[in-house]
Structure formats: C-alpha cells, structure tokens
Amino acid sequence: MRALVAIATATALLAAGVGAVPARASTDLAAVLTDVTADQRLAGGVAVTRDGTTVSRFSAGYSDVDTHAGFGPHIRIRAASVTKTFVAATMLQLVAEGKVDLDASVESYLPGRIRGAGIDATAITVRELLHNSSGLPEYYYDTDPHGPPQTSQQLLDLALRKPAQFSPGAMIKYTNTNFVVAGMIITAVTGRDPADEITRRIIVPLGLADTYFPAAGDTTLRAPFAHGYELLGGPYLPASGDLDPASAAPHDGAEPGPRVDVTPYEPSNSDMAGALVSSGEDLTTFMAALVGGRVIPRPQLAQMMATAPWPEGGRGRGYGLGLISIALPCGVTVWGHGGDLFGYHTLSVASDQRRALSVTFNQAGAPGSIDPRDRVLEATYCTPGA
C-alpha cells in the first residue's frame, strides 16, 4: 500500500450540559491533537473528554486514509489493554458479592490447570494476577496475529512452556497471561464466558453501544470503525511486512517505510488481555463511571486504585488492580489504562473528580518522539484553567 500522509483536521463538539470544559483547555487540546497528528505524520486521532455532564469531542486526520473518512467519537477501535480494566472491574464486582476472594490462590479456582517450571499455583493469588505480580510467564509474543483462533487454555499453555519469571509478589511485571487466567477464573465462578459476564455487568448497564468482544475468528471490526496503520519497518511492523507481536520494541533508527493497513487481526490472541472493541465515547463513559464509583463498590474501588510504583511503566506510573495511576507534572493524578495493539494506540483515564479522557491514535507515534497520547493527556489536565 502506498504511503499516505494525513492532513490533520480538528473538530470540537461541546455537548449541552453544565460544568463545561474551559474554552482555553478545549482550544489547547484541539490544537495539540491536530499538531501531534501532523508533526508525527499519524493517520488520525480522536479524543473525548467528560467533565460532569459535559462531553467534548476532538478529532484529527483520518479513520481511513484511502477514503479520507473522519475519526469521530463513535468510530470503533481495538481497545487493546484497556480491556484489562473491564476484566478487573468485573472481578471486583464478584469480590464484593463474596464470590471471589482476592487473597485466595489461583489453584483454588482452577485446580490442576496451571503447572510449569517454577510455577506454584497455590502460591499465586487472584490479587497478584490483577496486580501483574504473579510471576507467570508471558504468552503473547508467541502468538500469530493471522493464525487460527485460540482458546484461553491454549494461550495459557503457550505461557506454561516457559518458566516462572519470578516468585509471586516479588515485583510488578506487565504480563498478559495474568488477565487470561483472570478471565478463566470469572468463568469458573460464574459459569459464563468472561466476555458475556463483562457485557452483562458493565457494557449493557452503562449503555456502551459501541463496545463488544469480537468472536474468535472475526478479524475485522463492526462499522463504523477506524482502520489501523503502522509504518513498514517501524515499531510493530518489521520490514518483512509480517505482523510480529515481539516487534513492538524501540526502533533501530532506520527511516520507516510506507504506511500499511494492519486492521485484520485474530482477536482471540488477545483474549481478556486485550480483545475488546470500543470507541472514544464509550471508553470515556466507562472510565468516568469506574473512577466515579458507579461500577464497583467504594471499598473494592479503593483496592483497585491503590497502586504501587511501576518503573517499567514509565515516570510517575503505578499499577493497582488492572488500573494504572499516572502522576502528572502539574500535580494531578489520574487513573486508567493504556492499550497498544497493531494499528491502535489508546489511553483512557479519569481523575478522582471524575473528569475523564480517552484518546486513540490509529498509528504508533514516531520513533524517538514523545508519545502523542502523553501530549494530549497533559493538555487535558495541565493546561491553565483546565
């Protein structure tokens, strides 16, 4: 596919309501989204903010560079690892109902199903799964983005070919396997597929009409959706042109090649670690509701938001139970989660005052540049008057 450089365009729509986002904050956010999309030659981006009953929507570039379709707030994207927060919230609802004990062993819910070198399922707790501190090995880098559908057990078996990364609780190490196992526990406790349970408990009650879990084998997205793009030879897409889960690494400094449409993807590879499809509008609604105490009871929310330092995540980041804290340089702390999957790069957060932001770019940021999501994040919360 030939390279197409998106011409950044921005729109801002302010919904009727009270507590409007200050005009300067909205203007600065629109400008940052437009500028970063143009400067890093990204395909497109969308940002949605919620402040009380007021919703502001911004877009730049394209959801489809061939047709020049815009990138609206209800355009579907792969939410990637923001899925983990939905899984954790569902698990904590079960905790509140007395159906799951955070400090019970994984073995007590999945007897005999987790065995491997240096792995003791009786010593791993549910809390450690959600905290990414279980020590279970990573499965994701051994998957085939265009391969046949996989079950949760098959993904777990990929992980169990490798030894434990560390003793349970010794450190935080971001590992997708943890949330595959968490999904399996949800099934063991409820008797339902975790996607169905999340839909029943969170997606339907919050009215998240753009949000769903694609079926195994469904490699595209329901319309309207944003195409995902990466640069050939850049992060996520090696020069061979074959998607490689292990290629999302620092760029080697070579000039990336043309932009390639990488939308098709086997969603079962991501399972409960990242298969969710959503939109900027829905993710903002969800995160505002979660941090605002409308998804899980306050005692469980407090546990979810109790983060520990997470150096791997970057400066100012902490990890809780499926929830990341970000301490911004202006003194504001937000909670949420990011997500990166071929062609889709998302961040969804909310402050404890319930001001929420979701931002997605349908192409990875330029190598060596500040993550464009961080640019938008700081413009949202750190602009004077914001």
Q: Tokens for 373?
A: 């999501």
Q: Any idea what the Cα angle at residue 95 is, between residues 350 and 323, rounded to 5°? A: 25
Q: How far apart are CA 179 and CA 221, in angstroms?
A: 22
β-partners of residue 309 are: 318
The kind and range of the H/E element at 260 are strand 259-261
Closest listed residue to residue 320, CA positions, set 183, 135, 86, 127: 127
Q: How many helices, marked H, and strands, marked E, lie in the chain?
A: 11, 15
Catalytic residues: 81
The amino acid that residue 167 corresponds to is S
Classify strands 317-319 and 324-327 as parallel, antiparallel or unpaired: antiparallel
Interatomic CA distance for residues 191 and 208, integer angstroms: 24
Helices (H), the chain: 23-39, 83-96, 106-109, 126-130, 152-160, 177-190, 194-198, 271-274, 280-291, 298-305, 372-382
